[in-house]
């Protein structure tokens, strides 16, 4: 973050900074550069929907929990389905519906208060617990993988375990397999102390809210990470190449 602060001041005195000067300058031109005491949030509308990009630089583990938590808090007042993408530097929330993120931020969206109360419901509403439950269902024998020579497809197995998951959530909340999934996510994929520390820092920072017309250099990797799970490698490469070309043309204007 210290090096980014120097870049924000136009100081590129380190080899590492000079190597990434073009994308950093483009990031600053289209949006803003994160620096100590500053949290950059970007709102973007595309054909996919409404994007919320947040760049806390809190690490991948913290961003997993932060993404699920903020999506759940926003959806309490206005139901919506979010796709979440994370990396080491930030996270993206994508929804077909528009939300008033500025008002949400002003009304305590980043508050660490009630974290212990909110974290488990946000976990249940995300795909983290479901993904862990699928593995537990397979290992425990809850999901039948078919006789030898009649292997079920991954999609069929996911559908079967997903159905059990929804039934248990609605009608058997005390189910041991469900509890095991939640426990494993909390212990292995989420660090509540790290999430709390990140929220405290984010809440104390000055929020810079920008509305770029195109994905910024910091937002672009999050979009690619999300698309990687939905399209084939060849299709993804084509889309990445096309978007990169658009970014280069826009940067030259």
- Print the SS3 string covering 170-224: HHCCCCHHHHHHHHHHHHHHCCHHHHHHHHHHHHHCEEEEECCCCCCCCCHHHHH
- The predicted-structure confidence for 189-223, as pLDDT tens digits, reads as follows 778 889 999 999 999 999 999 999 999 999 999 99
Whole-model pTM? 0.77
Question: What is the reported pLDDT for 158?
Answer: 57
Question: What is the reported pLDDT for 54?
Answer: 98
Q: How far is CA 2 from CA 35, 37, 57, 202, 248, in A?
A: 7, 11, 12, 16, 27
Question: What is the reported pLDDT for 233?
Answer: 46
Angle between helix 233-251 and 21-30 (nearest 10): 70
Higher pLDDT among residues 55 and 152, named by residue: 55
Question: What is the reported pLDDT for 213?
Answer: 93
Report CA torsion sign: 74, 79, 80, 86: positive
Query: Does 242 have pLDDT greater than 80?
Result: no
Residues 88-102 have a mean pLDDT of 96
Question: What is the reported pLDDT for 163?
Answer: 85
Query: Does 147 have pLDDT greater than 60?
Result: no
Residues 20-49 have a mean pLDDT of 95
């Amino acid at each position: 973050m210290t090096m980014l602060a120097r870049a924000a001041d136009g100081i590129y005195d380190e080899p590492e900074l000079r190597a990434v000067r073009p994308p950093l300058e483009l990031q600053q031109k289209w949006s803003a550069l994160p620096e100590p005491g500053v949290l950059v949030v970007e709102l973007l509308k595309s054909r996919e929907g409404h994007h919320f990009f947040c760049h806390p630089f809190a690490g991948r583990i913290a961003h997993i929990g932060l993404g699920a938590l903020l999506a759940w808090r926003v959806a309490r007042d206005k139901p919506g389905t979010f796709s979440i993408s994370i990396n080491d530097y930030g996270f993206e929330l994508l929804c077909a519906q528009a939300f008033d993120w500025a008002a949400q931020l002003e009304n305590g969206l980043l508050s660490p208060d009630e974290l212990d109360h909110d974290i488990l419901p946000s976990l249940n509403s995300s795909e983290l617990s479901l993904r862990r439950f699928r593995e537990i269902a397979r290992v425990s024998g809850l999901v039948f993988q078919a006789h030898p020579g009649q292997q079920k497809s991954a999609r069929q197995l996911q559908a079967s375990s997903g159905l059990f998951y929804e039934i248990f959530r609605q009608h058997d909340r005390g189910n041991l397999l469900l509890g095991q999934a939640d426990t494993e996510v909390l212990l292995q994929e989420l660090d509540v102390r790290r999430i709390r520390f990140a929220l405290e820092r984010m809440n104390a920072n000055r929020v810079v809210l920008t509305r770029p017309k195109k994905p910024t250099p910091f937002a672009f990797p999050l979009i690619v990470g999300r698309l990687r799970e939905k399209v084939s490698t060849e299709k993804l490469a084509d889309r990445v190449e096309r978007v990169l070309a658009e970014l280069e043309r826009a940067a030259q204007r």
